[in-house]
Structure 1
């Protein structure tokens, strides 16, 4: 049986999506798969239980039989942290090992989803390097590419865990940088003994969120029909310039959310003449009848929020940063990217699995 630990050195690089993509393809290739999230630092409280939402979603999506308490065995809740800080230490190593044995029974491969950063899990002595050492799991590092600084991160992981670094998947590469990554970064990493299993371009559909998600996250009042909220927002733009420059500014991006003051009717009307999917108006100002009528003609919902523009932008950007792949269309699109851009045969060979 093989084990693969999917790790990252930063948040929101697509680990959960990569795990789903790998598990689905492995199932299609005839392998009996298992999945675990050994340590969960972000948990949700539901009636009668505390759960890791991503682990629960992956369990249901892949159709796994193992109970969720085995799939996500170590939940670092606020009460756990408080107990540790009070000196009431506990060992979670046995819990993790027992869960792993249960999940891996009769499986060809188990995919382990790592924590958000390399240091998370330190309080319970289950950081990424400790978990991979305990379970003797090779590491697939998922790294998004913004600049050559990301190469530093990859090399640091190699220096830290050595031969346990099986290879890397570089995700969210901007189109303008793809050729440089292919021709310069990949040969350099391969020359340093770090196999590059895949290069995934940035996809606006995958980076986007639904208007309904944005509305739920920001709160506020909806003007328009709820059915209009099914569209996807790919980017955010802030309306804070003069009216003369606004139209050319808003034309730069499509399928966007425009966040601007509720009293700026000039900017709101300009945004509605471009590819705008939602207006977010700050300061609890109700828009003018002219704006409401034009938005209705174009079926663009308006969200009224009480916060100022900068606070609203900050909240919206945090939502974009933690986009979840809990939508069938996104999962399908990501699976297509993985099929096209990821070297599964090379991974199987490195794990000792039959091709």
Structure 2
């Protein structure tokens, strides 16, 4: 019976996706693998009850038989946190251990997914180091590589959890940074006892935002919603300059969403002359007919919202980088990427396979 605890340095680094990739690889090799997410701070509420959406998706995708309440036993809802702050006592560690024993006893390998960061869960004494100790599991860290500051975060986790950290998977590496990471970052981490178990390049099809998701997140009114079907927003640009400068600015990126004031007709038309997949207008203004007509010609949906530009930008930026696994095609694409780019011999050694 082997166990692997999958932690992350921050939110939206692809931790759930990595867990799914590990499960797929093990199952493809006829190794019976189970899964659990002991502590969830991202709880979805429905009329039927509360649950962890990622855990539910993985359970369904891999046909796991254990009940969801066992796979994700500790849900940190607002009411739960408030009760803790009032001083009420709960045996969260006991709940995790009981669920883990029930699941791990039924499988050759159990993949255990951590919280959104290595320190989350400390409020209930279930941060990454504590859970890994409770279940006596080696730890693999998932980190999104953006700059060398990523190395700081990885070394900080190593200092915090010690020898339990066996390696790291670097995810969402921009193509232009891959050579530097391979030639400089990898040797640096290896010399400090952190095995680099995978280098996963950025994949726009995974990290981009479907226009339908953008509409769902922002709300507001949509003109030409049908134009956005199947389109992916790869980046976000803000229009807050003159029209001439805006045209040059907007040409720098393809397949983007442009967010600008609802009264800036000049910038709206400039954005529509470039590769734009969605136009987001703030201030609850209805665009001029000339903008609507041009958007129709270019098959670009217009989303009008009441938010100011800064608020809208923050909401959209929070969506980027979050690999939303809840689509079969994305799951298959990511697991294939992991199969090609991870060092499975070293992962097997960590698991004792």
TM-score of the aligned structures, taking structure 2 as reference length: 0.96
Q: Distance in 2 between matches of 1:68 and 1:182?
A: 39
Partner of 2:202: 202
Is the CA contact 2:14–2:171 (under 8 Å) kept in the aligned structure 1?
A: yes
Partner of 1:38: 38
Whether 1:146 and 2:146 are equivalent positions in the alignment is: yes
**How far off its partner does 1:332 sit?**
2.2
**How far off its partner does 1:34 sit?**
0.4
| Residues 70-90 of structure 1, C-alpha deviations (whole Å, 9 max, x = no match) | 000011111111111111111
Task: Tell me how large the CA RMSD over aligned residues is.
Answer: 1.4
Is the CA contact 2:225–2:302 (under 8 Å) kept in the aligned structure 1?
A: no
SS at match of 1:285: coil
**How far off its partner does 1:229 sit?**
3.3
Instruction: Summarize the alignment of residues 204-219 of structure 1 with structure 2, pairs less than 5 Å apart.
Output: 204-219=204-219
Is the CA contact 2:277–2:300 (under 8 Å) kept in the aligned structure 1?
A: yes
Instruction: Summarize the alignment of residues 38-117 of structure 1 with structure 2, pairs less than 5 Å apart.
Output: 38-117=38-117
**How far off its partner does 1:226 sit?**
3.2
| Residues 136-178 of structure 1, C-alpha deviations (whole Å, 9 max, x = no match) | 1000101111222221222222222222111110111122221
Q: Distance in 2 between matches of 1:82 and 1:350?
A: 39
**How far off its partner does 1:323 sit?**
4.4
Q: Distance in 2 between matches of 1:184 and 1:323?
A: 26
Q: Distance in 2 between matches of 1:227 and 1:309?
A: 23
Structure 1's consecutive aligned runs of 4 or more residues displaced over 3 angstroms after TM superposition are: none
Q: Distance in 1 between matches of 2:115 and 2:45?
A: 19
**How far off its partner does 1:227 sit?**
5.7
Structure 1 unaligned spans of 5+:
none
Q: Distance in 1 between matches of 2:152 and 2:314?
A: 28
**How far off its partner does 1:256 sit?**
0.6
Q: Distance in 2 between matches of 1:66 and 1:191?
A: 40
TM-score of the aligned structures, taking structure 1 as reference length: 0.96
Is the CA contact 2:227–2:299 (under 8 Å) kept in the aligned structure 1?
A: no
Partner of 1:26: 26
**How far off its partner does 1:336 sit?**
2.3
Whether 1:235 and 2:246 are equivalent positions in the alignment is: no
Structure 2 unaligned spans of 5+:
none
Q: Distance in 1 between matches of 2:266 and 2:323?
A: 31
| Residues 254-277 of structure 1, C-alpha deviations (whole Å, 9 max, x = no match) | 111011111222211121111101
Partner of 2:136: 136
Partner of 2:9: 9
Q: Distance in 1 between matches of 2:102 and 2:227?
A: 44
| Residues 192-225 of structure 1, C-alpha deviations (whole Å, 9 max, x = no match) | 2211111111122211111111111111001014
Is the CA contact 1:229–1:301 (under 8 Å) kept in the aligned structure 2?
A: no
Instruction: Summarize the alignment of residues 183-332 of structure 1 with structure 2, pairs less than 5 Å apart.
Output: 183-226=183-226, 228-332=228-332
Higher relative contact order (Cα pairs below 8 Å, separated by 6+ residues): 2
Q: Distance in 2 between matches of 1:255 and 1:191?
A: 40
Is the CA contact 1:35–1:112 (under 8 Å) kept in the aligned structure 2?
A: yes
Is the CA contact 2:70–2:99 (under 8 Å) kept in the aligned structure 1?
A: yes
